Amino acid sequence: MPVLSDRVEVPAIAEKRRPRVLIIGGGFAGTHAAKALANQPVDVTVIDRRNHFTFQPLLYQVALAVLSPANIASPIRAIVSGKQNIEVLMDEVVKFDLDRRQVDLKSGARMEFDYLVLATGATHSYFGHDEWAQNAPGLKTIEDAIEIRRRVLLAFELAERQMLETGSHPPLDFNVIGGGPTGVELAGAISDIAKRYMSHDFRHIDPTKARVRLIEGGPRILAAYPEELSGKAVEQLAKLGVEVHTGVQVTDIQEGYIMAGEKRINSVVTIWAAGVQASPLGKMLGVETDRRGCVLVNETLNPNGHPEIFVCGDLAHFEQEGKQIPGVAQPAMQMGDHVGKMIKQDLSGQRRSSFRYFDKGDMATIGRMAAVARIKWPFKANWSGFPAWITWLLIHVLFLVGFRNRVAVFFDWIYNYFTFTHGARLITGSQDLPGWDSQPGVHESAKTTPLDQNSPGARTA
């Protein structure tokens, strides 16, 4: 961690103009920082390469056709609408000049700052195998979600067509790599829509026979959760028909299959949820970073020696009680709020207050009426099943941006719950599915793979 000083030097601000605050990134941390500075004596510019904020905890529901993209995204301009001191630019940072306090943008523009708030989040990490991305998309953006939705739904459509034309089709094997919350949610949702929502939609195939595997390299899924909840998650996934394999290291991903050592596992759709790395802007800043590219920050969220720069959200490596706080929405929102508070303290000549993350708990949904929740506030409890699912629904509706989105998502969930229908099952873009043509025939596919035979290190629910 950077060395902390007893006093923080406030950036030199020109006397004849208001301080300029550049916020890079329009996610949870960036939008919260902007709103915290609304109507303050500063000029704020929010810069993002997209014009919208994405509510990432519900991205998997777009990927599995539960919600439409518009339900979980809001224009950044709408979020700061009416805030006279805030402007929004759709652009991308390509260079920092910290000595001159300037940033260069992809458009060619150059902007000066008195305060810089860097909150550009994280992206996928394929652990040195970026070539896997083409065959195993991850889930970080609306575009990622639409691509995963296209592949999952297309697999069923191609199977229906091939069954009609030839009388057989490759097995519908879906593999999700990574047993964290995103992987658990994706695996559960794929099984959910196949077995509950699409079971009567096709004439020639049986979607309920789709096979969903969740593959985790560690000893258990949801490793950050208590072991009790990890076990409950495995039980609930098993009820949905998801096979959980732990202690399995994926060594290669190709079109139509993945490799775990010498074991080949057939896969019509592979989804990556195994690793993340910080936005490249962290290293571009030229300050100290950790192995994932997260910027090491002190108790006031500054890189060492740069009190004018704040780093928030997934891009920040902030430790509390000897542990790095997680890269999820809660700390990002709290960091953004705290940055706004500290800048206001600077303007009023007060000493900056240290950031402290208030952990209210974690939760992950698994499927219809299935979830796990570790509650830390306003009371402590570990829940699973229906109570955790209801808690998850209410909290996520509450934190959605915009009244329209809250109402739309709430009624979509209620309608889907009682009618067993999904209204966003749209396939857009290409009708080619990587690896479909290389899938084995129906007779060959009946053979089990070594992974399916409970090999050492593999746990099958």
Tell me, yes or no, whether 62 lies in a domain: no
Tell me, yes or no, whether 6 lies in a domain: no
Q: Please say if the pLDDT value at position 28 is more than 60.
A: yes
Tell me the pLDDT tens digit for each residue of 206-262: 999 999 999 999 999 999 899 999 999 999 999 999 999 999 999 999 999 999 989
Residues 331 and 404 in one domain: no
Residues 257 and 302 in one domain: no
Which of 294, 324, 347 is the last residue before a domain boundary? 347
Long-range contacts of 128-132 (CB under 8 A, 24+ apart): 129/253, 132/252, 132/253, 132/272
Tell me, yes or no, whether 7 lies in a domain: no
Residues 310 and 448 in one domain: no
And the tokens for 315?
Answer: 């891009």
Please give the average per-residue pLDDT across 356-375, as a whole number: 88
* Range ranked top by mean pLDDT from 350-354, 380-384, 452-456: 350-354
- Rg (alpha carbons) of the chain, rounded to whole number: 23
Give which of 36, 32, 37, 31 is closest to 53, Cα–Cα.
31
Give which of 382, 406, 416 is closest to 198, Cα–Cα.
416
Q: Please say if the pLDDT value at position 11 is more than 70.
A: no
Give which of 114, 88, 76, 31 is closest to 337, Cα–Cα.
31
Please give the average per-residue pLDDT across 196-214, as a whole number: 93
Residues 38 and 119 in one domain: yes
SS3 311: strand
Please give the average per-residue pLDDT across 415-438, as a whole number: 76
Per-residue model confidence (pLDDT) at position 413? 67
Residues 181 and 283 in one domain: no
The one-letter code for the residue type at 123 is T
Q: What is the CATH number of the domain that holds 374?
A: 3.50.50.100
Per-residue model confidence (pLDDT) at position 454? 39
Confidence band for 70, pLDDT divided at 50, 70 and 90: confident
pTM, entire model: 0.88
Residues 153 and 231 in one domain: yes
**Which positions are annotated as active-site residues?**
185
> Cβ(362)–Cβ(373) under 8 Å?
yes
Please give the average per-residue pLDDT across 313-327, as a whole number: 94
Tell me the pLDDT tens digit for each residue of 161-188: 999 999 999 999 999 999 999 999 999 9
Tell me, yes or no, whether 313 lies in a domain: yes
Q: What is the CATH number of the domain that holds 327?
A: 3.50.50.60
Q: How many Å apart are CA 66 and CA 365, to the nearest integer?
A: 13
Which of 347, 381, 404 is the last residue before a domain boundary? 347
Q: Are strands 319-320 and 263-266 parallel, antiparallel or unpaired?
A: unpaired
Confidence band for 415, pLDDT divided at 50, 70 and 90: low
Residues 186 and 217 in one domain: yes
Residue 280: which domain range? 20-49+91-124+276-347
Q: How many Å apart are CA 266 and CA 138, to the nearest integer?
A: 19
Tell me, yes or no, whether 409 lies in a domain: yes
Q: How many Å apart are CA 428 and CA 147, to the nearest integer?
A: 8
Question: What does pLDDT average to over the chain?
Answer: 88
Residues 255 and 138 in one domain: yes
SS3 131: helix
Q: Please say if the pLDDT value at position 58 is more than 80.
A: yes
In the chain, how many domains are there? 2
Q: Please say if the pLDDT value at position 303 is more than 50.
A: yes
Residues 163 and 259 in one domain: yes
Confidence band for 451, pLDDT divided at 50, 70 and 90: low
Residues 206 and 304 in one domain: no
Per-residue model confidence (pLDDT) at position 404? 62
Residues 264 and 223 in one domain: yes
And the tokens for 137?
Answer: 């998309």
Tell me, yes or no, whether 189 lies in a domain: yes
Residues 377 and 343 in one domain: no
Q: Please say if the pLDDT value at position 13 is more than 60.
A: no
Which of 347, 379, 409 is the last residue before a domain boundary? 347
Tell me, yes or no, whether 237 lies in a domain: yes
